[in-house]
Structure 1
Amino acid sequence: MNTRYTAPEAVYIHIPFCTNKCFYCDFNSYVLKGQPVMDYLDALEREMERTVQAQPPGKIATIFVGGGTPTVLLPDQMAHFLKLVRTYFPDQHENLEFSMEANPGTTDLEKLTAMKEGGVNRISFGVQSFDNGLLETIGRIHNTDDVYRSLENAAKAGFDNMSIDLMFGLPNQTPEMMEKTLNAALALDLKHYSIYSLKVEENTLFHTMYHKNQLPLPSEDDELDMYLLIMRRLKEAGYGQYEISNFARPGYESRHNTTYWRNQPYYGLGAGAHGYAEGHRHVNVKGVQPYIDRTKEGLPHLERFPVTEQEAMEDFMMVGLRLLEGISGDDFTAQFGIPVEEKFGKTLEDLISRGLLERSGNKIRLSEQGILFGNDVFASFLE
């Protein structure tokens, strides 16, 4: 069965509000002050209603609320929002994974309790570093005390499935500083860690600073040392690296993100959200008020386009190889009706001969060397 055309079992919902804009962030987010939050939640309800009418959902297995910072919602707004999710996506797997991103500066016990009561069972905290100086450098509003307080409150509210995001390759960061952050992070003994390298994206303060030669980034060698250190320390602590930037205790891998990496359908709701269903991708209108206005007329799509067979095959390889278990030839054939070798045989032979990919039975995955040069590997599959 071609899984590209099955009903989505994953839902992504975007809450675009933040207390402030971090210096590296190019996500679709807006400073909260003066924003029409309740109007936005009403617009989300209209989009949910129209979406499930147009594309009825399967049994929902994962929900992910991202942003922005979803936890800037007040406790009553949070409760209202979570009730909407239950209303329009009522048919849920008994082991539903319901994740919400959180900023350590915006989570008190009352709000976390509202989240737990509303069905959220997994929290991803945007910590980024345990070095207060670095947090200030990148424009975060929280400090390490806020992190510990938030994790303590989350445990009090009944959460035991928690993840934190960390970053490496930050301005003036050294491998020694990264090691201290890892020591602090691993001492928490959480179920999951996401650890990303800084990317200097357009339309960010860091991009402006970079072009003015005012962004003192670590050398490539130091950045590589940090990544090797991260992989070694997480492995020693008993975490499986299941994706290039993600590490988990067995059974606690992010099932929602794995939906993306397996190139499976998902709903994308909210301003600027992306979705993939019925062989089409869509992108929603970005601005808060334009999004609200558009939902009064119909679905708030900025664009919706069919994914060609060629693009779908490229996506399958590029996102699937991010997972360290790699891609399965059987899955490729199930989706596209031909063996993977028929489409990408020459590329695969070349990458295997260069030691960047390895084959094990019907699986193809990144080698240890390939993990370090993932972007080069993924680009090889683009025509």
Structure 2
Amino acid sequence: MPGSAYFHIPFCVNICHYCDFNKVFLKGQPVDEYLAYMEKEMINTIRKTPFSKLKTIFIGGGTPTALEYEQFETFLNMVNRHFSSDDLDEFTVEANPEQTDRKKLEIMQASGVNRLSIGVQAFQEHLLKELGRTHVKEDVFRTVSEAKAVGIENISLDIMFGLPGQNVDMLKESLQFAFSMDVPHFSAYSLQLEKKTVFYNRAMKGDLLLPEQEVEARMYEVLMEEMHKHGYVQYEISNFARPGYESKHNLQYWNNNEYYGIGAGAHSYVNGKRMANAGPLKKYMALIDETGFPYVHSEKLTASAKMEEELFMGLRKMDGVSDARFRQRYGTSMFTVFGPQIDALLVKGWLKKSGDKVSLTKEGTFLGNEVFQEFIGVV
């Protein structure tokens, strides 16, 4: 049964050059109509699969804070109307600093939002322009300050490394600016070239100068060192937090738990099925009119697929995967199912074993995708 819900607002004032999430330019879009259809999906989803305890809500995009004040308030009221829960621990909204002012923060706080995830990426103006971002450094400081002023202190900043034109010193400078804001959580990702993005197209033309692989690896090492030095614990490959401020919502994913996904392009994992919603707005709304749901793909996971996901999702966490939990879920030991793969990775030094748990070594964190690949298609 789902313990979390994700809501997707696909509208953006501008499109970042690296982003492959489902998004559209805000101007000229049927925003009010889309929100009304989201509510239809909410109602139908809860009617079909009610929840008993909802622990986390996450509103992402796109850019949720691109909505106008009235639209934003209307939408948050919808979410609360259909997904309110006494068990809710965490209610997160993604925000772009240049589109988040005090009034929007006050709307969030009044609606029960208690966590803000701010897209920062870098603090150098030339890097922000290269990324297609439209904020400046001062926007981040203002947004963090105003969020704290209205009572939202659980704040996460997104940082990127391995960017075109970026070097290790620039990353260090960005981190120092970020640490000065005294926030409890960071997500820090290396740039990934995704198809259908500006950066991917430029790379295919040979027009994108990225740091060498060794330099990117050094950036990741510096990131881990600086986070540790400033009191942030790495609890997942790309996430760092002060104790008690880990992202409860993202842990639902990494713990392979079920969740609702509402909105164009959203994904769900409900009753053992993974479902994908239509991305284009017209198709999303048309499917809801036709069937009540916007699904374009639905797959009932086999026991084998669930076990594989348990490993490659769970190993993202520094805490790793517990065999006791694996046995409880699947009635067998992960060492029975994946023994040869685990043994080979232990020998390589990419995994380590402690008690009934296996987890990534420091070397393994640099090679995460190669580690995870070992568990796909095994069973």
TM-score by length of 2: 0.98
Residue 313 of structure 2 is matched in structure 1 by 319
2:39 is the alignment partner of 1:30: no
Give the structure 2 partner of residue 331 of structure 1. Answer: 325
Aligned residue runs from structure 1 range 152-167, under 5 A: 152-167=145-160
Residues 17 and 69 of structure 1 are in contact (CA less than 8 Å); yes or no, is this contact kept in structure 2?
A: yes
Q: Which amino acid aligns with 2:173?
A: K
Instruction: Name 1:308's counterpart in structure 2.
Output: 302
Structure 1 residue 104 displacement after superposition: 0.6
1:115 aligns with 2:104: no
* Residue matched to 1:355: 349
**C-alpha displacement of 1:296:** 2.1
- Cα distance in 2 for residues equivalent to 1:224 and 1:381: 24
- Provide the identity percentage: 44
CA contact under 8 A between 1:175 and 1:222: conserved in structure 2?
yes
**Partner SS for 2:338:** helix
**Which shows bigger deviation, 238-247 or 294-303?**
294-303
Using the TM superposition, give the Cα deviation of residue 92 of structure 1 relative to its aligned residue in structure 2, in angstroms: 3.1
Give, as a single letter, the amino acid of the residue that structure 1 aligns with 2:42: M
Distance in 2 (alpha carbons) for counterparts of 1:369 and 1:90: 42
Corresponding letter in the other structure for 2:370 = D
Answering whether residue 179 of structure 2 is matched by residue 186 of structure 1, we say: yes
Give the alignment's Cα RMSD to 1 decimal. Answer: 0.8
Which of 89, 94, 99 is equivalent to 1:101?
Answer: 94
2:81 maps to which residue? Answer: 87
1:59 and 1:91 in contact (8 A); partners too: yes
In 1, the alpha carbon distance for the partners of 2:288 and 2:37 equals 6
Q: Following TM superposition, by how much is the alpha carbon of 1:58 offset from its aligned partner in structure 2, in angstroms?
A: 2.2
Q: 2:207 aligns with which of 192, 204, 214?
A: 214
Kept in 2: contact 1:46–1:296 (CA 8 A): no
CA distance in 1, matches of 2:78, 2:51: 15
Contact (CA 8 Å) 1:14, 1:65: kept in 2 or not? yes
1:276 and 2:269 correspond: yes
What is the alpha-carbon distance in structure 1 between the residues aligned to residue 136 and residue 86 of structure 2? 36
Q: Which amino acid aligns with 2:174?
A: T
Residue equivalent to 1:149: 142
Paired letter, 1:69: T
Tell whether 2:371 aligns with 1:377.
yes
1:61 aligns with 2:47: no
Q: Comparing both chains, which one has the higher relative contact order based on Cα–Cα distances under 8 Å and sequence gaps of 6 or more?
A: 1
CA deviation digits over 1:19-66, x for unaligned, max 9? 111011110000100111111110010000000011111211000000
SS in structure 1 at match of 2:112? coil
Partner of 1:227, secondary structure, is helix
Equivalent residue in structure 1 for 2:283, among 290, 295, 316: 290
Residue 72 of structure 1, aligned match among 66, 85, 98: 66
Distance in 2 between the 1:371 and 1:160 partners? 29
SS at match of 1:311: helix
CA distance in 2, matches of 1:321, 1:41: 36
Deviation at 1:153, TM superposition (A): 1.7
CA–CA distance in 2 between the matches of 1:92 and 1:31?
Answer: 36
Residue number in structure 1 paired with 2:336: 342
Aligned residues: 376
Aligned partners of 1:288 and 1:109: how far apart in 2? Answer: 30
Answer yes or no: is 1:41 the counterpart of 2:30: no
SS for the counterpart of 1:296 is helix
The separation in 2 between residues aligned to 1:312 and 1:264, in whole angstroms, is: 10
Distance 2:364 2:84 in 1: 42
Letter in 2 for 1:200: L
Q: What amino acid is aligned across from residue 165 of structure 2 in structure 1?
A: N
SS in 1 for 2:261: strand
Distance 1:78 1:144 in 2: 25
Matched AA of 1:151: V
Asked if the contact 1:71/1:106 (under 8 Å) is kept, the reply is yes
Contact 1:11 1:268 in 2 (8 A): yes
Structure 1 stretch displaced more, 333-342 or 148-157: 148-157
Unaligned runs of 5+ in 1: 1-6
Q: Return the alpha-carbon distance in structure 2 between the equivalents of residues 111 and 295 of structure 1.
A: 29
Judge conservation of contact 1:14–1:66 (CA < 8 Å) in 2. yes
Deviation at 1:303, TM superposition (A): 1.2
Structure 2 contact 141–181 (Cα < 8 Å) conserved: no
1:279-299 CA distance string (max 9 Å, x none): 100000101122122222311
Cα-to-partner distance string for 1:63-116 (whole Å, 9 max, x where unaligned): 0000000001111111111111111113231x5200010001100111110111
Of residues 222, 226, 234 in structure 2, which corresponds to 1:229?
222
Using the alignment, how far apart are the partners of 1:159 and 1:342 within structure 2? Answer: 46
Question: What is the TM-score of this pair, normalised by structure 1?
Answer: 0.97
Please state how far the C-alpha of 1:119 moved relative to its aligned partner.
1.2
Amino acid at match of 2:29: Q
Amino acid at match of 1:332: F
Bigger mean CA offset, 149-158 vs 139-148: 149-158
* SS of residue matched to 2:252: helix
The aligned amino acid for 1:10 is: S
2:255 aligns to what? 262
Q: Structure 1 residue 143: deviation in Å?
A: 0.8
Structure 2: gaps spanning 5 or more residues:
none
Which amino acid is 1:64 matched to? Answer: F
